Every structure is written in C-alpha cells, then in structure tokens.
Amino acid sequence: MKKIVILIFLIINLLFGTQTKSFSMNELQEFYERKIFKIENAILEVNTLGGFADGKYKLKNSVVKKIDDNLYKVILELERRKNKFIRLKQKRVIFILYDNHRVWIKFKDKIHKYDLSKKVYMTQDKIFYKQKRSTLNAKIDKLNLFLSFI
C-alpha cells in the first residue's frame, strides 16, 4: 500500500512538477514591446497655397510601432474642425531613434537631435550632475510634439 501511495505521489510530481512558474509568452511579448515614451500632445500648423486647409491641427490619435531595439515609427493623426460640420484631417509619419541619453526625430528627411539630460548645478560647491528629463517639447518645422517618457 505504501508503495502505491509513493508511486502515485511521484507520478503527480512528474506531471505537475515540471511546469515552471515563469512568464508566459504573452507577458514576455508585452515586456519587449513596452513603450518607453508617449506622445501627449501635437500641433501642426498648415499654410497651403489654396488656403482652404490652413490652420492649426490638433492630435487626435497616435500609434507607436517598435521597428527595432531603439527605433520607433509614429503615425500621427491630426484633426482640425473648420466649423460645426467640416473636419479636416492630416496624417504624418515620423521616426524616433531613442536611447537613454538622446532622442533623434526624423521628419520630412530632416533629423532633429535632442539631449535628454539637463545639468543641475550646486551653488557653493560648483558640483553639477546630469538629470534625465521626464518630458520633451520638440519643435520640428511646423510640428510641435510633446513627449513624456515612462
């Protein structure tokens, strides 16, 4: 009888004991695809020849897709209400290259470089250190982006 109980105990351990309590594939994919920054606000000023679509467009939706380790593709959907019934839309695509110290934004074949660290000085000792920003207000041509880092 003891041998049967021990045998059943070993079989149960073999069946259920080999399952690891590690992360699932969905959790790992979510970890690797986590977003490092978020676009809080964007304003685009358009001044065309015809003048019909002129004005300030505000951010309606933004989609951030991770292309590589530090490279992101951002699709901005901007909207302007001309009056009660007419809404004008613009779609812009920008690429963002990000590491912990700097951000490069490519828009219309121009690269804009931003440093994420700001220097904080001590008054009497003249010791300074670098502190990472939590937000960035990027002005690119006629597009103003407000990024927040998570």
- Give the residue extent of every domain in the chain: 37-149
**pLDDT grade for 72, boundaries at 50, 70 and 90:** very high
Separate counts of helices (H) and strands (E) for the chain: 2, 10
Amino acid at 2: K
Which one has a higher pLDDT value, 139 or 10?
Answer: 139
User: Cβ–Cβ contacts within 10 Å for residue 93, how many?
Assistant: 12
pLDDT of residue 122: 67
Q: What is the pLDDT of residue 21?
A: 62
What's the chain's average pLDDT? 83
In three-state secondary structure terms, 113 is strand
How is residue 3 written in tokens?
A: 């041998």
- The amino acid occupying position 125 is D
Please report the pLDDT score of residue 70 as a whole number: 86
Is the pLDDT reported for residue 9 higher than 60? yes
pLDDT attached to residue 43: 93
* Global pTM value: 0.70
Instruction: Among 6-10, 11-15, 92-96, name the most confident range.
Output: 92-96
Q: How far is CA 92 from CA 10, 27, 46, 67, 140, in A?
A: 61, 31, 12, 17, 12
Instruction: Give 83-121 pLDDT, tens digit per residue.
Output: 888 888 999 999 999 887 889 999 988 999 998 877 666
Return the closest-CA partner of residue 60 out of 45, 74, 80: 80
